[in-house]
Amino acid sequence: MADRRRCPARPWRRGPSRCSPPSVGGVTSPGVISRPNEAPAGSSAAATPRRARRDALLGTWLGKAVRLATAWRRGGGHALPGLVVERLVPGYLAALIGQLPEGVAVVTGTNGKTTTTKMVVELLEATGRTVVTNPTGSNLTRGIVSSLVRQADWRGRLPGDVAVFEVDEAYASRFVRVVRPQWVLALNVSRDQLDRFGEVDTVARLVGDAMRAATAGVVTNADDPRLLALAKDVARAGTPVHYFGVAPELAPLFPRDDELVQVGVAPVAAPPRDVSPSVELAEIGDQEGTYRVGGETYRTRLRLSGRHNLQNAAAALALVRRLAPSAGDAALVEGLGRIEPAFGRGQSFVLADGSELRLVLVKNPAGFRQGLASYVGDEPAIMIAINDAVPDGRDVSWLWDVDVSALDGRTIDLTSGTRGADMALRLGYSDVTVRSVEPDLDRALRRLAEIPGRKLVLANYTAMLHLHAALRPYAAAPTKEPA
């Protein structure tokens, strides 16, 4: 019997409530779905087709009205329509996704979600599919709902074949309780936003929740020991699991999380695998990667810079091969070479004086280490910008776990952001000279722009967003990487 203290009678509300899950296909157990793209029984979208249509129409009109009402706002508010719809029409997400014949794939993990999602979407689009996604990288459920509001028409219909969503690690477990994904791509787990997640095992547990919810299969990283252990549990439960990875000789270039606490200590070779990746990064060059796929070897040159993106490309290939099995491996690898960098992830800008500025997101020890290894050369002037806003994580003690040995013998021109002084202190303890600390991001950017020659900005999340917007007066348009 329903607990009346938690489920009071509501005679004015039509239709089933959360206290009396409706039946879908004769099944009333929460979490069971009758079709691949259908919401779990017990969710509002699973109640009846009529209710799903009502939720889709009502939520779309409400969300679009909020978008119109806030169109004058600058620099934020993109997730507000989703927040309002999520609160007032809780069945909206499942109702919209339930319209897609090929369901949804979720991309989650600590690093690489935005870029990998962009790769998957563009590769699928090249096969002729219409893909629904969250292109801004707003990866909480409210951001995903906002994306759906934008892409739905005024009749509450979502034109598309399949959805591919980047989903925050913590919100992935919430997302899969509303919409069961067909596929989950789990990229990696490492320490991130310590005040929010605590230690890395918490992140792994949350990603594992999403992996266990997949109805068609899981794709994950054969070189991440925590994800590998979770994947084996998923496989024992009967869900197909497929892997991507890097060749053993490349493993030292892609350190695992437990190695990142050993600052200044070179990563060690990966332990022997007992699984076989379906896609493996075999060799790397200057924005070039050689991949072993399905018993064949293919080489391509990426427009995306950074060796971590060569690994992200392996992950994207492994998922798309499952979503579009008839596409052809050679065509998919070739398609990787046409993908441009994602927003703020290695984008290059040409400043008014003709010099180039590259903006790189670094938000945790793993991402920072790869950013330094991939982008720091002999020439560029360097600024590092660190904020401690809520989306960044208020605890920035992770800065002390960053291996900054790539900066040995270098001078950093500026550190900036609310924690610019903390960054300078961290660098000082590794004998890296910092010329100036300028907490104000706009002033720091103006000073950096006055320095002749190429420039590199490494910034965590909110600092990157601010600088990306502030670059517009200085830059006509992002430049394209060489084809």
Residue pLDDT, tens place only, 406-447: 898 889 999 999 999 999 999 999 999 999 999 999 999 999
Q: Check pLDDT > 60 for residue 166.
A: yes
Average pLDDT for 212-234:
94
Looking at the predicted structure, is the pLDDT value of residue 177 above 70?
yes
Task: Give the model confidence (pLDDT) of 400-409 as tens digits.
Answer: 888 898 898 8
Range of the domain at 434: 347-479
Same domain? 313 vs 222: yes
Say yes or no: 68 and 128 in one domain. Answer: yes
Are 468 and 344 in contact by the 8 Å Cβ rule? The answer is yes
Distance between CA atoms of 367 and 360, rounded to whole angstroms?
Answer: 10
Residues 324 and 374 placed together within one structural domain of the fold: no
pLDDT of 15 over the 60 cut: no
Q: Are residues 212 and 137 in the same domain?
A: yes
* CB-facing half-sphere around the CA of 182: CA atoms within 13 A: 20
pLDDT of residue 19: 42
287 and 392 belong to one structural domain: no
- Residues 271 and 401 grouped into a single domain: no
Nearest to 120 by CA among 363, 347, 324: 324
Name every residue whose Cβ is closer than 8 Å to that of residue 226 and which is 6 or more positions away in sequence: 189, 200, 201, 204, 257
Residues 58 and 95 in one domain: yes
Q: What is the pLDDT of residue 187?
A: 94
User: For the chain, what is the domain count?
Assistant: 2
Q: Is 23 helix (H, G, I), strand (E, B) or coil?
A: coil
Distances in whole angstroms, Cα of residue 42 to Cα of each of 22, 432, 440 = 6, 57, 50
- Decide which of 336, 364, 379 is a domain's last residue: 336
User: What pLDDT was estimated at residue 303?
Assistant: 83
For tokens 């090249």, name the residue. Answer: 126
Rounded Cα distance between 308 and 289, Å, is 11
Can you tell me the distance from the alpha carbon of 436 to that of 444, in angstroms, rounded to the nearest whole number?
A: 9
Of 20, 28, 53, 162, the closest CA to residue 97 belongs to 162
Question: pLDDT value at position 170?
Answer: 78
Is residue 448 domain-shared with residue 318, that is, in the same domain? no
Q: Does residue 29 lie within any of the structural domains?
A: no
Query: What's the rounded mean pLDDT across residues 316-329?
Result: 95
What is the per-residue pLDDT across 84-141, written as a single tens digit (0 to 9) for each?
998 999 999 999 999 999 999 999 998 888 899 999 999 999 999 999 998 766 767 8
Are residues 236 and 98 part of one domain? Answer: yes
Query: Reduced to 3 states, what is the DSSP secondary structure of residue 462?
Result: helix
Residues 193 and 60 in one domain: yes
Residues 286 and 355 grouped into a single domain: no
Of 85-99, 318-332, 367-381, minimum mean pLDDT range: 367-381
- Read off the pLDDT band of 253 (50, 70, 90): confident
269 pLDDT band (50/70/90 cuts)?
low
The answer to whether residue 263 sits within a structural domain is yes
End residue of a domain, out of 316, 336, 356: 336
Work out the pLDDT band at 353, boundaries 50, 70, 90. Answer: confident
Residue 164 falls inside a structural domain? yes
Where does a domain end: 336, 360, 391? 336
Banded pLDDT at 312 (limits 50, 70, 90)? very high
> Do 325 and 358 share a domain, yes or no?
no
